[in-house]
Amino acid sequence: MVVAKKFIIAKHFEGEPKPSDLKLVEEELPPIKDGEILFETEYLSVDPYMRPYAVNFPIGSDMCGCQIAKIIESKHDKFPVGKRIRGYYGWRTHTIFNPDKWNPPGLLKEKPGLLPDLGDLSPSLGLGVLGMTGDTAYFGFLEICQPKSGETLVVSGAAGAVGSHVGQIGKIKGLKVIGIAGSDEKCSWLVKELGFDHAINYKTEDVAAALKKVAPDGIDCYFDNVGGDISSTVIYQMNNMGRVSVCGSISSYNSDPENIPRSKILQPALIFKQIKMEGFLVPRWTDRLDESFTQNKKWIREGKIKYRETVTEGFENIFQAFTGMLKGENTGKAVVKV
């Protein structure tokens, strides 16, 4: 008999998530039936979206999230023992699943399946540069910003999984790339290792003044991971016909929905510069994930996309990994190695 450990939602998050909002419980798993597989989690993803999404699940639900797992028992021909799978099974160590009966929860439409072959790369990349965050960077930037060579791109949350990836795609596409991040170490990584043209530490620099200096001709594309005052500052320095891809709003995720933070209204900038601003969720491009996977893998092999992972060891430490990521303690993709 296998005993799974899992975190369930004990109380919906209010403000900053507290350890008592989740509860670590054990679940005795039954023997698997025909068509089912049993798998053991290897890596769990922690991502900003989990903070606002988790409040939509009923109390007692498994905490939501994507994982990479290895199949340890199988009664399904196409999912043999030893293969790895990837899917949104939540924060748990062992899971039984019938691949033919998948009924996705409303918010997460990606059908779980076998992890594509990553060769000698870590399977954890299936949660990052070769998974959801890589897909997010690829489609969210290219489809919504429609970047053109010679333009100027600003990325906020630039040292995070998505931001660091977007900036590098910007460089591949011939743009001038400016990152905004929260420490000198992150900024140094962006410029020295990833090839960003400039990086601004928003905790120590005046972002408006720094942008005027490094982007004197204005900003054409803005990839927004944070929302709030930083974003308003960027948007008021954009050029005519600028495009804003709104990916995340991490600055407001801990806010009560009835008490969303306030910032300078954007309408005057949007009108007089004819700016387009569009939010997205990556499931919009579910039928094109082969494209982003193939291209991102090629760029990684060519050394054009570099990545970093912040790996927390131990299933029990996932809550700290999650809240640390929300505070910006990670560089690159935050994952938990079970």
List the one residue out of 226, 142, 220 whose CA is nearest residue 181: 226
Taking the least distance from each CB to its own copies, the nearer of 269 and 334 is 269
Single-letter amino acid code for the residue at 114 = L
128, 157, 227, 332: which one contacts its own copies (CB under 8 A)? 227
Taking the least distance from each CB to its own copies, the nearer of 183 and 232 is 232
Residue corresponding to tokens 């995720």? 253
Taking the least distance from each CB to its own copies, the nearer of 105 and 279 is 279
Q: How many residues belong to the site for its own copies (CB under 8 A)?
A: 36
Taking the least distance from each CB to its own copies, the nearer of 212 and 284 is 284
Q: How far is CA 252 from CA 17, 26, 48, 64, in A?
A: 13, 33, 11, 20
| Site for its own copies contains 252 (CB under 8 A) | yes
| Site for its own copies contains 156 (CB under 8 A) | no
State in angstroms the smallest separation of the CB of 291 from its own copies: 20
- By the 10 Å C-beta count (0-12 exposed, 13-18 middle, 19+ buried), 28 is classed as exposed
| Site for its own copies contains 248 (CB under 8 A) | yes
| Site for its own copies contains 180 (CB under 8 A) | no
Angle, helices 161-172 vs 132-145, to 10°: value is: 50
| Site for its own copies contains 24 (CB under 8 A) | no
- Which residues touch 8 (CB under 8 Å, ≥6 apart)? 22, 23, 25, 60, 61, 62, 63
69, 247, 289, 326: which one contacts its own copies (CB under 8 A)? 247
| Site for its own copies contains 263 (CB under 8 A) | yes
Write each residue from 264 to 303 as x if it is in contact with its own copies (CB under 8 A), else as -, in one continuous string.
Answer: xxxxxxxxxxxxxxxxxx--x-------------------
Of the CA atoms within 13 Å of residue 6, those in its CB half-sphere come to 25
Taking the least distance from each CB to its own copies, the nearer of 224 and 309 is 224
Taking the least distance from each CB to its own copies, the nearer of 49 and 299 is 49
State in angstroms the smallest separation of the CB of 234 from its own copies: 12
- What is the bridge-based pairing of β-strands 37-45 and 84-87? unpaired
Taking the least distance from each CB to its own copies, the nearer of 85 and 235 is 235
19/144 Cα distance (integer angstroms): 37
325/338 Cα distance (integer angstroms): 17
42, 62, 197, 224: which one contacts its own copies (CB under 8 A)? 224
7/1 Cα distance (integer angstroms): 20
Q: Contacts with its own copies in 36-65 (CB under 8 A)?
A: 52
Which residues contribute to the site for its own copies (CB under 8 A)?
52, 224, 227-228, 231-232, 246-249, 251-253, 260-281, 284
